[in-house]
Amino acid sequence: MEARLILIKYGEITLKGLNQHYFLETLMKNIRYAIKGIEGAKVNKIQGRVTVEGVSAEDEEEVISRLKKVFGIVAIVVARECEPDMESIKAAALEVMKDKHNCTFKAEAKRGNKSFPYTSPQIAKMVGAHVLVNTDTITVDVHKPDYTLTVEVREKAYVYCDNIPCDAGLPLGTGGSGALLLSGGIDSPVAGYMMMRRGMKVCGIHFHSYPYTSLEAQKKATDLAEKLRPYNMGFTLINVPVTKIQEEIIQKCDESYLTVILRRFMFRISERICEQRGISALITGESLGQVASQTIESINCTNAVVKLPVLRPLIGHDKNDIVAISRHIDTYDISIRPFEDCCTVFVPKHPQIKPSLEKVEAQEAKLDVEALVEEALKNIEIVRIK
Ligand code: ATP
Ligand code: MG
């Protein structure tokens, strides 16, 4: 008897040596979390793969779309599971190919079970010949086939042909935690996604200057958080008002330092939030040279106020690369909604492009930095997206 099941391929985890067990268990836990509520679905481990069994035909698409957002998965296939004997494998192969017409294929085999009496090339040859003889409009093309019919012989045998590529990376939770400075723009959600993909669980911090910035601007951040939620297995967004801080800077400091001083406040406040929550890094969407606040001199000035590492996964990326990722994670259309954020409501006419740390500190000395940070922290609002 053959059964349909979802076969999950993982990649980098296999390189983990002694830690492999921990990474694999985390991956399985995350898969179970992702498909919570799907009736009958059961997650199991087999040699070199994870399987999801018991998913009804109606739920299959939903399960696959959820699994695509689980990091650590390299590809998903819907496979036929059968007994590891040639007759069953051949029958399963025909079943897999039965709705394919007027196309080319090649057969491949992987023999994980070394006690199986045929080698991989022999299995591929026999299965390929069987399909060719028993179908009318399918032909072989070993160089550029439309489909690669694959047989994996393990304790059981698995036969499939459509490989659904996923985002790979490492299972969420294996890379510690980070606080993502989430504006409403294109870059920061992408930066968050990239760190999640390396296994880092992320919490978002959004700075706003309500009522100078609109509620729609805050909604943008919430909507972006919602898009990131499945990748991050939930999402906590912390909204921080910086209205008072901006007013003070405008009143007391040289206007050209507004941006760099505001960013130093953002970093200080974020670091304090990290301390309170046991988070070990900041993450920003900065990309070198993109705007005045992202020259190396500006970056040095903002870095100077924090001890935690600041991760900038986009630092060497071009805008086009970043836009492509934002489309992939479906945040682009939200990011381009035209609402201003706190960095754009008050823009200095001539911002300091290469600020010196001494001058920034001299400007900042006119402010009661600690009191302003404390006040902002008192007024944070926490949104939990499940
Ligand atoms: P983005 O597209 O992410 O908005 P940007 O190109 O507009 O970035 P900046 O305004 O210089 O660049 O911001 C750089 C980084 O600082 C952002 O990627 C984000 O991590 C952080 N940041 C900027 N504004 C905010 C904000 N209002 N709330 C939280 N983080 C912010
Ligand atoms: Mg921005």
Residue range 222-268, pLDDT digits in tens: 999 999 999 999 999 999 999 999 999 999 999 999 999 999 999 99
For residue 284, which atom of ligand 1 is closest to its CA?
Answer: 20
**3 state SS of 177:** strand
Q: What percent of the chain has pLDDT over 90?
A: 85
Q: How far is the CA of 159 from the centre of ligand 2 (A)?
A: 48
pLDDT tens across 267-287, in order?
Answer: 999 999 999 999 999 999 999
pLDDT at 290 exceeding the cut of 80: no
Average pLDDT over the chain, rounded to whole? 94
Find the ligand nearest to 186 CA. Answer: 1
| Domain boundaries for CATH 3.30.2130.30 within the chain | 3-165
Contact 351, 259 (CB under 8 A): yes
Q: 385 - beta bridge partners?
A: 235
Report the C-alpha gap between 160 and 150 in whole angstroms: 5
Quick: pLDDT tens for 202-213: 999 999 999 988
pLDDT tens per residue, range 5-33: 999 999 888 777 778 899 999 999 999 99
pLDDT band with cut points at 50, 70 and 90 for residue 343: low
Q: How far apart are CA 6 and CA 160, in angstroms?
A: 10
Look up the CATH architecture of domain 177-385. Answer: 3-Layer(aba) Sandwich (3.40)
Q: Which atom of ligand 1 is nearest to the CA of 293?
A: 11
Ligand nearest to the CA of 343: 1
Tens of pLDDT along 119-130? Answer: 999 999 999 999
Write the Ramachandran bin of 373: left for phi over 0, alpha for psi from -120 to 50, otherwise beta.
alpha
CATH code matching the domain that covers 3-165, chosen among 2.20.140.10, 3.40.220.10, 3.30.2130.30, 3.30.1490.100: 3.30.2130.30
182 CA distance to ligand 2 middle (Å): 9
Q: What pLDDT was estimated at residue 1?
A: 52
- Identify the residue whose C-alpha is closest to ligand 1 atom 16: 284
Tell me the ligand closest to 224's alpha carbon. 1
| Mean pLDDT of all residues in 287-298 | 82
152's CB contacts (< 8 A; 6+ apart) are 7, 49, 79, 109, 110, 112, 158, 159
Closest-CA residue, ligand 1 atom 1, reads 185
Where are the CATH 3.40.50.620 domain residues in the chain? 177-385
Q: How do strand 42-46 and strand 49-53 relate by DSSP bridges?
A: antiparallel
At 96, list the tokens: 């897999």
* pLDDT single digits (tens) 134-147: 999 999 999 999 99
CA of 241 to the centre of ligand 1 (A): 15
Give the number of whichever ligand sits closest to the CA of residue 207.
1
Residues with CB under 5 A from ligand 2 (ion): 183, 185
- Interatomic CA distance for residues 88 and 233, integer angstroms: 39
Mutate to test the pocket of ligand 1, among 187, 264, 339 (most ligand atoms within 8 A of CB): 187
pTM: 0.94
Instruction: Report the nearest atom of ligand 1 relative to the CA of 205.
Output: 29
Nearest CA to ligand 1 atom 14: 286
